[in-house]
Amino acid sequence: MNIEEVGIIGSGQMGNGIAHVCALSGYKVVLIDIAEEALNKAMQTIEKNLNRQVQKNKISQEKMDEAISKITTNTDSKALKNVDLVIEAATENFDLKVKIFQGVLEHIKKDCLLSTNTSSISITKLASTTDRAEKFIGLHFMNPVPVMKLVEIIPGIATTDEMFETSKQFAESLGKVVAVSKDFPGFLSNRILIPMLNEAIYALHEGVGDIKSIDTTMKLGMAHPMGPFQLADLIGLDTCLAIMNVLYEGFSDTKYRPCPLLVKYVEAGWYGVKSGKGFYDYSSDTPIPTR
């Protein structure tokens, strides 16, 4: 299984980050999204982030130019006809992901490998909706992708050893460190992280402490680089809620019940950094707690 060209579906925060590291590592990249505007924004983000690496002397200007030249964008899945690996990086929604995979199967090569960047949804279940469950795997990149070293690899029940080894070598070729998880709700990273964030929200909801106090406690008392509310806002509160619901439904255990306050914030459209407001208001230079 040889990978030279990678197709990435979804050009948002995760998709453009994955495109960035793939192109920088020498892979040809086809970045797909339904909106031309989203693709233009993604390329601006990639260029800005690459330029930041140049300014920090982590890469050369020549390397940056070469990486940008390796990325092509398209709104049509037909552009995936020559790719060796597809990485789906759309919103954390099972039905949407199934629709995406069904839409690309008629356009990709018979030996094209499939993967998903899902942070919690069953790999086995997603794989079963395709025509190549044995060539399907979870490749969970961490946000922000160009900075974070970890890639969580999750084989489904039908994933072959060859597919696993190919995926592992691919992730390592991007300069990433691999952690392997069994295919259970939330995998390793989010099964541990998201309940912690949810518990912080419960502490706020129940009046145990305010946002600033809770974030300060975890940063200065537990040596976390950012507090749980800062992190939740960065991840996206809609994504946090989606993962929490997967855990709650997957394990049928009340300890995974999403905090009602998290639900309310998502209902209000307060998703965090990407919407300009979450547990912090980002309308000014210094984020201000909203509670």
Catalytic residue among 77, 117, 120, 152: 152
pLDDT digits 0-9 by tens, 252-263? 999 999 999 999
Q: How confident is the model at residue 84 (pLDDT cuts 50, 70, 90)?
A: very high
One-letter amino acid of 228: P
Residue closest to 80 by CA, chosen among 97, 105, 117? 105
For 133-163, how does the pLDDT look when each residue is reduced to its tens digit (9 = 90+)? 999 999 999 989 999 999 999 999 999 999 9
Residue whose structure tokens are 């960065």 = 234
| 105-121 confidence digits (pLDDT tens) | 999 999 999 999 999 99
Task: Please choose, from the candidates 230, 242, 124, 258, the residue with its C-alpha nearest in 3D space to the C-alpha of residue 183.
Answer: 124
Q: Is 140 a catalytic residue?
A: yes
Asked if residue 144 has a cis previous peptide bond (ω within 30° of 0), the answer is: yes
Mean pLDDT of 191-200: 97
Contact 230, 201 (CB under 8 A): no
**What would the DSSP string read from start to end of 46-70?**
HHHHHHHHHHTTSS-HHHHHHHHHT
Q: Which position among 16, 49, 119, 122 bears the catalytic label? A: 119
Q: Decide if 173 is catalytic.
A: no
119 noted as active-site residue? yes
Computed on alpha carbons and rounded to an integer, the radius of gyration of the chain in Å comes to 19
At 213 the pLDDT is: 98
Domains within the chain, CATH numbers bracketed: 5-180 (3.40.50.720), 191-289 (1.10.1040.10)
Judged against a pLDDT cut of 90, whether residue 1 lies above it is answered with no
How many Cβ atoms sit within 10 Å of the Cβ of residue 96? Answer: 13
- State which amino acid sits at residue 40: N
Q: Is 213 a catalytic residue?
A: no
| Catalytic residue chosen out of the listed positions 49, 115, 140, 181 | 140
Per residue in 33-47, pLDDT (tens digit) is 999 999 999 999 999
